Structure 1
Amino acid sequence: MSQQQVLEKLKKYADFSQGGNGSYKAKKDDATITIHTNGKVQIQGKNKEKIEQEINEILGREEIYENNKQLFIVYGHDKIAKEQLEYILQKLDIQTAQITNNTGMTIIEALEKETSRVHAGIILLTPDDISLSKKDYEAHKDNIEGYIHARARQNVILEMGMIMAKLGRKNTIILSKGEVETPSDIDGIFRLQFKENPKEILKKLVERLEECGFVIDKENVFKAMD
């Protein structure tokens, strides 16, 4: 069924208007209904199951599009930055997954298990460690100030590489807090940098999430700004 056919069948059910990316949107009972260009229907918000059932009855089918895409978060020791990011993603109505390793598996095994069911990943690079090359130390041991750099935890860098290998660069979003040293191999990969709170880059983050295939209600973007 095409988008216009679905729209015609649902026009008496809700008041649809043109949305972004060629979609049509409507509000009903504290939920957002989106009709995508391919004719798929997505429901977000309260009373989701009730509205899905009603729309299925109208359309005579069970093809409601579930936004089941999950986002994997890799983070270090900065729990505040992690919680700030989680708050934003929660307001954007995006499901997230993290490593919960209480099964006796190694971290790598747990990560491989999680990435098998996620669509995209966010790597949160925070200045948790400091680094100094042996060469710089030997040459400037009497005054090493200016040669010490902040960097992310090494396990975060390892997991970043695994995420990129598993999900691809297009589905990997790298966020860096402050001036944090990164491997030279990712210099050509697009990164979003913020100073204190990921809210500073909310607009660009939403754009990247949409590029990864997530459908984001614009009203939820305003909620994430609070």
Structure 2
Amino acid sequence: MKKSINSLQGIYERLDLYDESSERSNTARHSFGNNVFIVHGRDDESRYKVALFVKELGLNNIILDRQPDEGIIAILDKFEREAKKADFAIALLTPDDVGALKNEAETQLNSRPRQNVVFELGYFISALGRQKVCLLIKGEIENPSDLDGILYKRIDGDEWKLKVARDMQKAGLPVDLNDVR
């Protein structure tokens, strides 16, 4: 597993993750953008897998911790600045945390996505609209109840790639389905 993560990380680090010349404000957003914000927790393997997939489609990744801080700013300021560049968002809901209802805490801890992932997912649903946000779920997790009924894809195999590419294409991103591997 560690070898796979290191291999994916090596490939990922050699990619041009974001072309600064394509920056624009939210008001200048157009239907054929190519910037995909990847919301993630601590599952590096899944993050690198999705980043590589997005890059193979000819799109730009926006991964918050890979973007420059531009001085001493609050993380929320950095998030808002980078989120404005996004034309589409992929949220990785991976089993990174555990939790339970207060009265069940000692007997039944459930795997959950990180709190930042849930927060950023809500932000993008509001900012971009549900049609431009894709949920990828790995493993068995307890979804936030507000997400009940929302369609998602499982990232446990490779079937998700074509499904996500179709969603991106339908959302107006310049995706060629022949590039899906």
Q: TM-score by structure 2 length?
A: 0.75
The equivalent residue for 1:71 is: 36
The reply to whether residue 194 of structure 1 matches residue 159 of structure 2 is no
Q: Which has the higher strand share?
A: 1
The equivalent residue for 1:133 is: 101
| Contact 1:176-1:192 within 8 A present in 2 as well | yes
Q: Which residue type is aligned with residue 56 of structure 2?
A: K
| Contact 2:33-2:87 within 8 A present in 1 as well | no
Report the RMSD for the aligned CA atoms in angstroms: 1.8
- Residue 101 of structure 1 and its aligned partner are, at CA, apart by 5.4
- Secondary structure at 2:159 match in 1: helix
The equivalent residue for 1:91 is: 56
The superposition leaves residues 103-146 of structure 1 with CA deviations (integer Å, 9 ceiling, x where unpaired) of: 32222111111122221111111100111221113xxx4xx2xx
Please give the alpha-carbon distance, in whole angstroms, between the structure 2 residues aligned to 1:187 and 1:84: 26
In terms of Rg, which structure is larger? 1
The equivalent residue for 1:7 is: none
| Contact 2:112-2:141 within 8 A present in 1 as well | yes
| Contact 2:98-2:111 within 8 A present in 1 as well | yes
Distance 1:101 1:132, change over 3 A: farther
The superposition leaves residues 22-69 of structure 1 with CA deviations (integer Å, 9 ceiling, x where unpaired) of: xxxxxxxxxxxxxxxxxxxxxxxxxxxxxxxxxxxxxxxxxxxxx542
Please give the alpha-carbon distance, in whole angstroms, between the structure 1 residues aligned to 2:47 and 2:128: 21
Please give the alpha-carbon distance, in whole angstroms, between the structure 2 residues aligned to 1:85 and 1:148: 28
**Which ranges of structure 1 fall in alignment gaps of 5 or more residues?**
1-66
Distance 1:101 1:125, change over 3 A: farther
Please give the alpha-carbon distance, in whole angstroms, between the structure 2 residues aligned to 1:68 and 1:157: 24
| Contact 1:127-1:178 within 8 A present in 2 as well | yes
The equivalent residue for 1:25 is: none
**Which ranges of structure 2 fall in alignment gaps of 5 or more residues?**
1-31
The superposition leaves residues 156-211 of structure 1 with CA deviations (integer Å, 9 ceiling, x where unpaired) of: 1111111111111111111111111211111122211232x5x2311211111112
Please give the alpha-carbon distance, in whole angstroms, between the structure 1 residues aligned to 2:128 and 2:177: 26
- Following TM superposition, where does structure 1 have runs of at least 4 consecutive aligned residues deviating by more than 6 angstroms? none
Q: Which residue type is aligned with residue 126 of structure 1?
A: T
Task: Give me the identity figure in percent.
Answer: 29
| Contact 1:69-1:119 within 8 A present in 2 as well | yes
1:28-67 matches, within 5 Å, as none
1:105-184 matches, within 5 Å, as 105-137=73-105, 141=106, 144=107, 147-184=108-145
Relative contact order (C-alpha < 8 Å, sep 6+): which is higher?
2
| Contact 2:36-2:54 within 8 A present in 1 as well | no
Please give the alpha-carbon distance, in whole angstroms, between the structure 2 residues aligned to 1:176 and 1:116: 24
Number of aligned residue pairs: 148
The reply to whether residue 208 of structure 1 matches residue 167 of structure 2 is yes
| Contact 2:93-2:117 within 8 A present in 1 as well | yes
